[in-house]
Chain A
Amino acid sequence: MAHAKPLATLRSATGIPTGRLAVWWVLASEVVIFGGLLGSYLMHRIGHPEWAEAAAHTQTWIGALNTFVLLTSSFTAVLAHQAAEKGNGKEAAKLLGFTILGAITFLIVKSFEWANEISHGYTITANTFWSFYYTAAGLHALHVIAGAIIMGVVAVDAYRGRELHRVELIGIYWHFVDVVWIFLFPLLYIAK
């Protein structure tokens, strides 16, 4: 009790632990950010039939590979949560490590994909389709980077058996990042 926690982390008017409540609040605002962006994309896509030509140039199999990577990383994230529930911090840390590996794989695949597209002249200023493409996927990639960093911090703590509840919190965030990609994949790669 030498270093008491702030009162707000110890009580909960909603019956939801404060940390988890905070994560859900973040996600509620993220829903509006990504929702607004993807909604705008969808409306422009429908209003501009010529975008179909540009959209035909995204590489479906690369998007598919990254979908598989993120789905798998979500699976390891929820297993990490399960391990943390059982008080097994080392196992949770290991599984979070796999999730971070997924995040890194995702980013490497993405950087090769973008480098290839940019070298072919499909840059963010090429036309509005590509502007949306880089903005939406770029904002998502920033979330992947942020998630990977936070997961690293949480994993180090979890390995030492500390703050195990945070494994669930970062997991909820990570699943959201996965869900955003679940919608980005058909929007940018499949519907052509």
Chain B
Amino acid sequence: MAENNEHHDGHDGGHHVNYFAIYVALIVLFLISVAGPEIGERTGWRWLTLITAFGIAIVKARLVINNFMHLKWEKRIMKWLLTTSLILMALFVAGVSPDVLNHEGTNWDNTAAKEATARGLSDEVEPGEVITEVATAEAGTFSAEASFNTVCATCHGVAGDGTGPAGAALDPAPANFTDPAFWDERDRDRITTVIRDGAVAVGGSPLMAPWGPLYNAAQLEEMTDYVMSFRPGG
């Protein structure tokens, strides 16, 4: 134990924190952080939600870090180490934020993000229902073309030629269904398998994800038909 005693020097034994009082303060702050947004929602004061949610989180974190983790009494170099981490994190966020927060810039256009936003906001129904609906859509409302344009065209392009906006960055590049060479060694069964289980199932790239859960058997057939329709000459 002798080697353990050194770390008591001017440290642990010395500070008299009333841990119970800190705990009570944390619980009180926690209750306010739950109650605040409830009030904010009813009164329409969104600022109240944000202040109680994030302002209180910062206060709580400080209480824990200073009093439970004893950072308040820690050597200064430790505070600098942690501050460095926080600065690096802030640099990362600041660096990528223009690309994430905006969906277009002078020379670029994030069509995938725009589509996702438009699709999400245009849904009149509850999101939960949307998901169930896609998963178990009745045959009447299902359109292979619409589904292709939403799910597949991001990479494969609306024209099926592999030039979707998200596909440009992929390696290997997304398949071009309008290329006769593509069809040399592919048949209908293989297309169905790849849509359902992903290209990995046939030894291809993991970038072509499995979409099986989105479609029932009949819809999978329709999707295959639609992809086959890009084949030159029928």
Tell me the A residues contacting B by CB distance below 8 Å. Answer: 5, 9-10, 12, 14-17, 20-21, 24-25, 27-29, 31-32, 35-36, 39-40, 42-44, 46-51, 53-54, 57, 60, 64, 67-68, 71-72, 74-75, 77-79, 81-82, 85, 120-122, 125-128, 163-165, 168, 171-172, 175-176, 178-179, 182-183, 185-186, 190-192
Distance of B185 from chain A, by nearest CB (Å): 30
A44: B residues at CB distance < 8 A = 100
Closest to A29 in B: B85
| Total A-B residue contacts, Cβ distance less than 8 Å | 175
The answer to the question of B219 belonging to the interface, with a C-beta cut-off of 8 Å to chain A, is no
Interface size class of chain B, counting residues whose CB lies under 8 Å from the partner chain: 35 or more
B88: A residues at CB distance < 8 A = 32
The answer to the question of B39 belonging to the interface, with a C-beta cut-off of 8 Å to chain A, is no
- The secondary-structure label for the interface of chain B is helix
Contact B81 A28 (CB under 8 A): yes
Closest to B56 in A: A186
Partner of A57 from the list B8, B77, B86, B128 (CB cut-off 8 Å) is: B128
Contact A20 B121 (CB under 8 A): no
| Pairs A–B under 8 Å by Cβ, sample size 17 | A5-B3, A16-B78, A24-B81, A25-B81, A31-B82, A43-B100, A43-B101, A47-B113, A49-B120, A50-B119, A64-B30, A68-B30, A74-B26, A78-B67, A125-B213, A165-B7, A186-B33
Contact B89 A183 (CB under 8 A): no
Please, how many angstroms separate the alpha-carbon atoms of A5 and B127 in the complex? 58
Given A121-B131, A183-B57, answer yes or no on A39-B3 (Cβ-Cβ < 8 Å): no
Contact A51 B120 (CB under 8 A): yes
Contact A122 B131 (CB under 8 A): yes
The answer to the question of B132 belonging to the interface, with a C-beta cut-off of 8 Å to chain A, is yes
Interface string of B68-104 (1 = CB under 8 A from A): 1110001101100110111011001100110011110
The answer to the question of B53 belonging to the interface, with a C-beta cut-off of 8 Å to chain A, is yes
Contact A43 B97 (CB under 8 A): yes
Please, how many angstroms separate the alpha-carbon atoms of A192 and B19 in the complex? 33
Tell me the B residues contacting A by CB distance below 8 Å. Answer: 1, 3-4, 6-8, 12-13, 19-20, 22-23, 26-27, 30, 33-34, 37, 41, 49-50, 52-54, 56-57, 60-61, 64-65, 67-70, 74-75, 77-78, 81-82, 84-86, 88-89, 92-93, 96-97, 100-103, 113, 116-117, 119-121, 123, 126-128, 131-132, 135, 213
Contact B34 A31 (CB under 8 A): no
Closest to A27 in B: B82
7 additional A-B pairs beyond A78-B19, A121-B132, beta carbons within 8 Å, are A49-B120, A75-B20, A168-B12, A171-B68, A175-B65, A186-B56, A190-B52
